[in-house]
Amino acid sequence: MNISRRIKFNLSYIFGRAPWDSGISPPELYDFISNHPAGRALDIGCGTGTNIITLANAGWQVEGFDFAPRAVNIAKHKIRRAKAQARVFKDDATQMKNTHGQFNLALDMGCFHGIENKADYLIQLTRVLAPNGFWLMYGFFNTDPLQTGPGLVNSDLDLIQHHNLTLVSRQDGFDKRERPSAWFLWQMNDELPGNK
């Protein structure tokens, strides 16, 4: 993410105008929780911690991070107020320097589609996902191939499959701005390439 977008995100949290942060966990997350046993979960780009609290309340051991310091501070406050057990910290999705161990679920609601270096993100994601772990990812599509900036393109989906992840399900729809979007559930293969 370029520096001007980082500043915009930070300012949105400082002034309380982060339209992507609804304060409500989506039904897709509740569906996942109801169909999978609790384990370790990582919320990538956790914002103000809404989904961390939802996962913790469902019995998951949860960690989450965001690159925006103000979002992390708000998340810590909300988690304390909710009396939830979770670890929240500042990190970069393309480096995940503060993220350790293996997770049964990685949740990403709108982070991956805004990352410029998606290959670095995927290297870190597959490092922290447990064998057979899930990546529940939401993103909108960039429908103008000449436009740079956030949004998924077909080559992103190809890139994901080259990182030892298998598509389990895809649910297409539209975001609030009427952009095509989708929820994806990917699963980490249980063996690394070359270990079969």
Q: Which residue has the tokens 């993220």?
A: 99
Quickly list H helices, the chain: 3-14, 27-35, 50-57, 69-81, 118-128, 154-161
pLDDT of 193: 46
- Characterize the bridge pairing of strands 103-109 and 40-44: parallel
CB 5 within 8 A of CB 27: no
Distances (CA, A) of 58 to 52, 85, 134: 10, 11, 17
CB 137 within 8 A of CB 177: no
pLDDT of 81: 97
Q: Report the length, in residues, of the chain.
A: 196
Q: Using one digit for the tens of pLDDT, what is the confidence trace for 49-82?
A: 999 999 999 999 999 999 888 889 999 999 999 9
pLDDT higher than 50, residue 196: no
Positive or negative torsion for Cα 65, 71, 73, 79: negative
Q: 24 falls in which pLDDT band (50, 70, 90)?
A: confident
pLDDT higher than 80, residue 31: yes
Cα 40 versus chain centre, distance: 14
Q: Using one digit for the tens of pLDDT, what is the confidence trace for 150-189?
A: 889 888 999 999 999 999 999 999 988 788 999 999 999 9
Single-letter residue type at 40: R
pLDDT higher than 60, residue 39: yes
CATH number assigned to the domain with residue range 3-9+28-188, chosen from the 4 options 3.30.70.270, 3.40.50.150, 3.40.50.1820, 2.60.40.10: 3.40.50.150
Q: Using one digit for the tens of pLDDT, what is the confidence trace for 96-126?
A: 999 999 999 999 998 999 898 999 999 999 9
pLDDT of 195: 39
Structural domain spans, the chain: 3-9+28-188
Q: Using one digit for the tens of pLDDT, what is the confidence trace for 79-98?
A: 999 999 999 999 999 999 99
| Inter-axis angle of helices 50-57 and 69-81, nearest 10 | 30
